[in-house]
Amino acid sequence: MPDPLNEHGTAGPDDKTTVLPETAVALVEMERLQQALAASEERAKNHWDQYLRVLADVENVRKRAAKDLESTRQFAVEKFAQDLVGVMDSLELGIANAGKSDAAALIEGKQATQRLLAKAFEKAQIEEINPAEGAPFNPEMHEAMLAQPSDTPPNSVLAVVQKGYQLNGRLLRPARVVVSAPKA
């Protein structure tokens, strides 16, 4: 079989390759599809890289939030504790001077300590629950210690045995009260 290429490696003038129109269209379409596939693969690679970066960022945010939450838990009462240090100092000073002071000075020292503690409670948003006499009994805020027959309407507070406290609207301890009961 004769070699269709001449000595220069090219087809001679007598060799003519015929390209059918439908083959040319298919070749052009195949080339276009290969380019589109390559572009799509490049976009997919970029999107995967972006996904991995976002995933790493989310993980870093999660770790940072967990660390911040743990730090907040550990130091949440720091300001309150700092206020209580002053109360402790006042109590220690009162105990140290108990034998050297008269009763009036000791009472005054206790009142000063109580004011320091009340200020610390206020800063920490700890509110006192101290119902007035005759107030209706509230089982969400009060604990009935005793029901005593009385002329006042039933389930009214007659006396407060121990004050209650709440922190930001959440009950820490109910007020312990004596409530009225109908006379027999």
For residue 138, pLDDT over 70 is answered with yes
pLDDT digits (tens, 9 = 90+) for 43-88: 999 999 999 999 999 999 999 999 999 888 877 778 888 888 988 9
CA distances from 135 to 11, 141, 152, 167, 173 (A): 113, 12, 10, 22, 18
Per DSSP, the three-state class of 171 is strand
Largest interatomic CA distance in the chain: 133
d(CA 109, CA 102): 11
Let me know: does 183 contact 150? Beta carbons within 8 Å: yes
pLDDT for position 174: 96
Residues 118-123 have a mean pLDDT of 91
Locus of tokens 């009225």:
180
Query: What residues does each domain of the chain span?
Result: 126-184
pLDDT tens-digit readout, 85-108: 988 998 888 888 877 878 888 888
What's this model's pTM, rounded to 2 decimal places?
0.59
Tens-digit pLDDT profile for residues 1-13: 455 555 555 555 5
Encoded tokens for 176: 């312990």
Query: In Å, how far are 53, 128, 181 from 142, measured between CA atoms?
Result: 55, 12, 16
CA distances 49 to 53, 60, 100, 146, 162, Å, are 6, 17, 77, 70, 64
Of the pLDDT bands very low, low, confident and very high (cuts 50, 70, 90), residue 154 is very high
Tokens read off for 56: 């790493």
Note the CATH architecture for domain 126-184.
Roll (2.30)
